[in-house]
A and B are shown apart, each in its own frame.
Chain A
């Protein structure tokens, strides 16, 4: 007791403190790397087909699209908000691209439509949350129904096909050997978002808002504007993901990307972002994306049905969150 009495523990701001080696070893990212390596080894032992360049390349398609959305979602959740409508934005953007195809729009036009549609949906969410001060979890449950509902109104039980040949590159093309365009885009976006969150004043403001929005406001941070930008970014990434998914599948149905929102949020939380806001890192989210891809792909090679995989994802989510809490409890008990 006497040793700690003179140093009152400061409020933890977990981003970018000069961490000693010990805390780095016990950090969330280290835990995730450990989990990833364990799953990787288990996979290569379990299936002879796993350790193959093309297999590993196929693996990345399992998470790049959701991962792109997760990057922006991480920032949004760090700021204390959430967007449940991302999958619906994907569906609406894809539907609008499908409409444009019927009107004879070419590949560059399609990409622009997908991205702008995503951005517009994100801005709509942002407007409702920041201008009218509504809780984002409910607003985005509403817009989730609204966006996907519009897709259903336009498409009904039909499907759009006939995307131009050049459009297929985004979801099916390879930049070099087994390195897909999707993977390159995901890694590039991860670097951009990592820089934005951890190396810019904008990122510091996002953390500040998440830790204490009132204090941030009084410190001159434009809380509303930054949250609005974050909603726009999330919509933008959903629009980009929509381009990739539509290109990969080559068709649009209103039920496209159903249930993605929960997988994206699982990815973000698994990556160590606090669901209560204020803490998290892009590195963690990228690792979590890889882990989810590894789990689903490895189990897929073993012919485990997708629905059973979801048990593993769910267990992984709860155990990875619970472990540090239990660990701290045990340590606390030992100290006391």
Chain B
């Protein structure tokens, strides 16, 4: 099973390399390391968000409210910065993480304590969070000139020639990798997704694990909220509208099963990169950006079809092993 999983990621990585090769055959500068680093930086936010979503999907849940959480947190941090420019950026990041965590915990509590299906909960909180953003801001925007230079400059500062935003993404990826593969929490998240009933017998609190998963996706959305606002230097109610489905798309393309229990950190990262490359390659090869939506749609459908084939094969192998045992 492990090799099959690896195969799928290798396969996706190959598709990404092939795509880069194809584009650079027509436009040589595309594969330039500088451009690829830029591409990674552009995709950082989607990668971070996809990792948060992955954890939730692994537990057989879904978080439709991530983009709305991002929007609310970003607005809160931007308004705080506009009103008190003296607050240091690390403190603002902690505020963003805390606000995101609280919103994620609300989702998690409703799923854990009331047993409401996560799709219903997050459908509700999606509209509530976005509406709350409007109430918080009174419908006003926070523009670039209201933000402090440090607020905007933080993620653009270069460390070892790489912008801070990319470093944040690298650190988040590393953290998720450690948690998912090296900790009891990571194992229990997978266990809950693969077989909730067996997890209960193994002493795992399924509801609590889901709650933690939603807290993680909330934390990640909060972090992305600050990074998003300081990247696009505008905070409004419309920020990241509809982006929740992009995040889920990145996960699906990355081979994370919507039925839970299957998926990896590498898959989520590659899925996000795949969408990022499509977005940045289209203008280079002279295809109208209006094509982007249809192409990512087709990529999602193709990815699900391939995932489903892989999963079906796995099922048969497990059955055969069980019969043999």
Query: Which of A's residues lie within 8 Å of B, judged by CB?
Result: 84, 128, 132-135, 137-139, 141-150, 152-153, 156, 258-259, 262, 265-266, 269, 275-276, 305, 307-311, 313-315, 317-318, 321-322, 325-326
Please, which residues of chain B bring their CB within 8 A of the CB of A315?
124, 128
Contact A138 B291 (CB under 8 A): no
Contact of B304 among A142, A144, A145, A325 (CB under 8 A): A142
User: When chains A and B are docked, how far (Å) is the Cα of A282 from the Cα of B37?
Assistant: 54
Task: Give the distance in Å from the alpha carbon of A147 to the alpha carbon of B297 in the complex.
Answer: 8
Q: Which residues of A contact B126 (CB under 8 A)?
A: 262, 314
Q: Interface code B296-314, partner A: CB below 8 Å = 1, 0 otherwise?
A: 1111110011001000100
* Contacts known (A149-B293, A317-B124); A307 close to B116, Cβ less than 8 A: no
- Whether B294 pairs with A150 at a CB distance below 8 angstroms is yes
In the complex with contacts A313-B127, A318-B125, A321-B116, A152-B294 CB distance below 8 A: yes
Contact (Cβ within 8 A) A311 B131: yes
Instruction: Say whether B201 faces chain A, with CB atoms less than 8 Å apart.
Output: no
Whether the pair B301, A275 counts as a contact (CB closer than 8 A) is: no
Report whether A149 and B297 are in contact in the complex, using a CB–CB cutoff of 8 Å: yes
Which of B123, B124, B135, B288 interacts with A156 by CB under 8 Å? B288
Task: Among A133, A134, A266, point to the contact of B123 (Cβ < 8 A).
Answer: A266
The answer to the question of B29 belonging to the interface, with a C-beta cut-off of 8 Å to chain A, is no
Q: Which residues of A contact B237 (CB under 8 A)?
A: 307
Residue ID in chain B nearest A275 by CB atoms = B117
Say whether, besides A153-B294, A258-B242, A318-B125, A325 and B115 are in contact (CB < 8 Å): yes
- Chain B residues closer than 8 Å to A133, beta-carbon distance: 308, 312
Do A149 and B116 touch across chains, with their CB atoms under 8 A apart?
A: no
Q: Does B157 belong to the interface (CB within 8 Å)?
A: no
Task: Give, as a whole number of angstroms, the nearest-CB distance from B49 to chain A.
Answer: 15
Which of A156, A259, A309, A322 is packed against the most chain B CB atoms within 10 Å? A322
Say whether B131 contacts A322, CB under 8 Å: no
On whether the beta carbons of B110 and A132 are closer than 8 Å, the reply is no
- Asked if A307 and B134 make an inter-chain contact with CB atoms under 8 angstroms apart, the answer reads yes
Q: Which B residues are in CB contact (< 8 Å) with A135?
A: 258-259, 304, 308
Complex contact B301–A146 (CB within 8 A): yes
Given contacts A132-B305, A314-B125, A314-B127, A141 and B116 within 8 Å (CB-CB): no
Q: What is the count of residue pairs linking A and B with beta-carbon distances less than 8 angstroms?
A: 139
Interface residue ranges of B95-131 to A (CB < 8 Å): 110, 114-117, 119-121, 123-128, 130-131
Interface size class of B (residues with CB under 8 A): 35 or more
- Which listed residue (B128, B134, B296) contacts A305, Cβ 8 A? B134
Confirm or deny: B248 has a beta carbon within 8 angstroms of a beta carbon on chain A: yes
Q: Mark out the residues of chain B between 126 and 158 whose CB falls within 8 Å of any chain A CB in the assembled complex.
A: 126-128, 130-132, 134-135, 139
Nearest B residue (CB) for A311: B131
Given A150, A153, A259, which contacts B242 in the complex, CB threshold below 8 Å?
A259
Instruction: Say yes or no: is B58 at the interface (Cβ < 8 Å to chain A).
Output: no
Q: In the bound complex, do residue A307 and residue B131 qualify as a contact, i.e. CB atoms below 8 Å apart?
A: yes
Whether a CB of chain A sits under 8 angstroms from the CB of B15 is: no
Whether B301 pairs with A143 at a CB distance below 8 angstroms is: yes
Residues of A within 8 A of B212 (CB): none
A310 adjacent to B131 (CB under 8 Å): yes
**Are B297 and A142 closer than 8 Å at their CB atoms?**
yes
Set B121, B123, B135, B290: member contacting A153, Cβ < 8 A: B290
7 smallest beta-carbon distances between A and B, as pairs: A149-B294, A145-B297, A146-B297, A149-B293, A142-B300, A311-B131, A314-B127
Q: What is the bound-complex CA distance between A271 and B62, given in angstroms? A: 21
The 29 sampled A-B contact pairs (Cβ below 8 Å) are A133-B312, A134-B304, A134-B308, A138-B258, A141-B245, A141-B252, A145-B245, A149-B290, A149-B294, A149-B297, A152-B291, A265-B123, A269-B120, A275-B120, A310-B127, A310-B131, A311-B128, A314-B123, A314-B124, A314-B125, A314-B131, A315-B124, A317-B120, A317-B124, A318-B121, A318-B124, A321-B116, A322-B114, A322-B116
11 A-B pairs besides A262-B127, A307-B237 with CB distance below 8 A are A134-B308, A138-B300, A143-B301, A144-B297, A149-B293, A305-B139, A307-B131, A308-B135, A309-B131, A314-B128, A317-B123
Determine if B292 is an interface residue (Cβ-Cβ < 8 Å).
yes
The answer to whether A308 and B131 touch across the interface, beta carbons within 8 angstroms, is yes
> When the two chains form the complex, which single residue of A128, A149, A150, A311 contacts B132, counting CB atoms closer than 8 Å?
A311
- The closest CB in chain B to the CB of A276 belongs to B117
> How far is A260 from B134 in the complex, measured between Cα atoms in Å?
20
A146/B294 contact (C-beta < 8 A), A134-B304, A153-B288, A269-B120 known:
yes
Output the residue of B237, B252, B290, B299 with the most chain A CB within 10 A. Answer: B290
Report which of A145, A149, A265 forms a contact with B249, defined as CB distance below 8 A. A145
Q: Which of B258, B291, B293 sits near A137, CB closer than 8 Å? A: B258
* Nearest CB in chain B to that of A128: its residue: B301
Taking CB atoms, residues of chain A closer than 8 Å to B139 are 305, 307
The residues in B between 33 and 78 inclusive whose CB is less than 8 angstroms from any CB of A are: 62, 64
Contact between A139 and B304, CB atoms less than 8 A apart: yes
B241-278 interface code vs A (CB 8 A; 1 in, 0 out):
01001001100100000110000000000000000000
Q: Given the complex, which residues of A lie within 8 Å of B291, measured CB to CB?
A: 149, 152-153
Q: From known contacts A314-B125, A315-B124, infer whether A134 and B135 are also in contact, taking CB-CB under 8 Å.
A: no
| Residue from the list B114, B131, B297, B305 in contact with A134, Cβ < 8 A | B305
Residues on the B chain within 8 Å of A313, using CB: 127
Interface pair A145/B248, CB less than 8 Å apart:
no
Contacts of B114 in A (CB 8 A): 322, 325-326
B295 adjacent to chain A (CB < 8 Å): yes
Residues from chain B with Cβ under 8 Å of A132 in the complex: 305, 308
